[in-house]
Amino acid sequence: KNEVEQSPQNLTAQEGEFITINCSYSVGISALHWLQQHPGGGIVSLFMLSSGKKKHGRLIATINIQEKHSSLHITASHPRDSAVYICAVRSGRYGNKLVFGAGTILRVKS
Amino acid sequence: NAGVMQNPRHLVRRRGQEARLRCSPMKGHSHVYWYRQLPEEGLKFMVYLQKENIIDESGMPKERFSAEFPKEGPSILRIQQVVRGDSAAYFCASSPPFQSRTEAFFGQGTRLTVV
């Protein structure tokens, strides 16, 4: 079992739909990151969370520390949101390096 | 303030050659992490360095791979006698000291192709 599990692996949505990507982890963490990667592109940090909820434009990220679960929501999705979304956790258990989920491939159709 | 800079962006090497990947951290950052992304796979940790010191190399293959972060200049990930299985995207990330709750700053990656 991976330390960080993401679901779904693949997601196809119609433009305008509300999208949710989930992430579960198994150890205590100091921070959780949501990252975005376009095909052939670099990795961009969207959010860093240690508690609660953050919002940036159409993106919302939440975390429940007790349940060891986080969600990334995209409201009013757009084709330019098509990318791989990666959840990563940082934990003293792992020596403070990032441990990554497998990623969710999102395709938003117009 | 430039972000994390990696070069080259693309690197093609023949089997048996050496590959050198460079990473210049963000200004003020003294810690560097290297990660590898194999085709169709997720990101995996390789090595964590600070200036002149390797903190954690638990993700580095035992042979042919080495990393350094000298007092002056960029961090270097070196792969000797490359094989086709080394073809991957290699990402570098940097952070300041006391980084447990800092943002993750990544470079654009180096895409290594071994032919």
Q: B56 contacts in A (CB within 8 Å)?
A: 95, 97
β-strand partners of B94:
B32, B105
Most distant CA pair in chain B: distance in Å?
41
| Mean pLDDT for the stretch of residues A54-68 | 96
| Mean pLDDT for the stretch of residues B21-37 | 93
What does the angle CA B113 – CA B65 – CA A97 come to, to the nearest 5 degrees?
A: 95
Nearest residue to A76 (alpha-carbon basis) of A15, A11, A4: A15
- Mean per-residue pLDDT over chain B, rounded: 92
Poorest-confidence range of A16-25, A34-43, B75-84?
A34-43
The alpha carbons of chain B give a radius of gyration, in whole angstroms, of 13
Percent of chain B with pLDDT over 90: 78
- Mean per-residue pLDDT over chain A, rounded: 93
Instruction: Give the number of other CB atoms < 10 A from CB of residue A1.
Output: 4
Cβ burial A61-85 (10 Å sphere, 16+ → b, else e)? bbbeeeebebbbbbeebeeebbbbb
Cβ–Cβ below 8 Å for B104 and A98: yes
User: Does residue B9 belong to the interface with chain A, where contact is any CB pair within 8 Å?
Assistant: no
Which pLDDT value is given to residue B99? 58
Which pLDDT value is given to residue A41? 84
Q: Within chain A, how many helices (H) and strands (E) appear?
A: 0, 11
| pLDDT tens digits, B87-103 | 999 999 998 876 556 67
Poorest-confidence range of A71-85, B39-53, B73-87, B91-105?
B91-105
pLDDT band at B1 (very low <50, low <70, confident <90, very high): low
Q: B46 contacts in A (CB within 8 Å)?
A: none
Nearest residue to A33 (alpha-carbon basis) of A45, A24, A21: A45
| Encoded tokens for A11 | 């997601």
Instruction: Give the number of other CB atoms < 10 A from CB of residue B65.
Output: 19
